[in-house]
Each structure stands twice: as C-alpha cells, then as structure tokens.
Amino acid sequence: MEIQLDPPNGITGFPLGMSAEAVKAAVGALGEIKVKDEDTHDDYHPMQVLALHPQFEINFVMEGAKTLESAEVWIPRPGSEEITVKFRELDVFRTPALQLIQQIEELGFTTLHDSPSYWFVPRLSLGFTRTAGHDVPLDTDGEPLYFQAVLVGPTDYYDYKLEK
C-alpha cells in the first residue's frame, strides 16, 4: 500500500474538504475506526476519525464536525504488508529526518522548525514530528532518526510560522 501526501489537497483517498460521513466510510475500508468528539463543535476539541490499521494509524480532523480539515499519518509498523508514505517521490518514513528536510528544501520549499523535533513546510502545509513514544533509532543530535508522523493541512495551515 502506498499513501501519497498531496498538500494542501489531502492524502490518497482522502481529499481535504471531504464530508465526515465519507471519511468514516472510507476509513472503515482501511481497518478499525474510532471516532472522538463527534458531537462537539468546539475549535479546541474537533471531531477526529482515527483509522487503526494493524500497521499504521491516521488521524483525520474534521472542521466543525463536517469536513476533513487535516490528516496526520503515523509511521508504519513492520508487518505483512509493504506500506510506504511518500511526498512526491520522497519516502517520508524511510528517509532520515534531516535528510528528508534537505531534500524538501532542494525542491525549492522553505522549512522551519520549533525544535529539533518539530519541522514545518509553510506554503506547502506539511508538518513533521520526530517525537516517539517508544524506543527508536536516534540520530547524532539525540532525536529520532526518522520522522514519526506527518500532517497534511489546508492551504496556509503553517504560514503563520513565517511571521516569527
């Protein structure tokens, strides 16, 4: 299975703006589904649809509990299926994090980071985290060697970071 990141449009099979009902139906085809805050219309606690596949998780966040606003894909785990997550031809989770950032910059995009763990690509609407909740290989800077999750958001999602 290959998941293509297509910022700011969405990910394979899940275009941003997709209805919450369509997201839930499509997630059901991937594996187990868990819905959180379905009846909440609070900006601080948006509805989330979690796809729980035996080898990966994707968190879909709904704007106003109605339409898909962002999708966060977590690093695939080993298993029987070959799963890759790509941005263009770049393998997001098998390329060392700092090397991936360099490759994205070589494509002409600006990257920013809040810390060694959190990287953003404004104007492209990609956000990466190296934070891991379990033991993973570390890079020379002491952070996880590979990104652990990537978020695809709508146009201008991370542009506010350019103002810092």
Q: Which residues of the chain have pLDDT under 70?
A: 39-44, 164
Position 28 scores a pLDDT of: 87
Position 164 scores a pLDDT of: 59
Position 66 scores a pLDDT of: 87
Q: For residues 105 and 98, what is the distance between their CA atoms, to the nearest angstrom?
A: 11
Q: For residues 154 and 125, what is the distance between their CA atoms, to the nearest angstrom?
A: 6
pTM of the complete model: 0.91
Position 14 scores a pLDDT of: 96
Q: How far apart are the first and last CA of the chain?
A: 38
Position 135 scores a pLDDT of: 87
* Strand-pair partners of 86: 4, 91
Position 36 scores a pLDDT of: 82
Name residue, tokens 């703006």.
17
Residue 28: left if φ>0, alpha if ψ -120 to 50, beta else—which one?
A: alpha
Position 41 scores a pLDDT of: 64
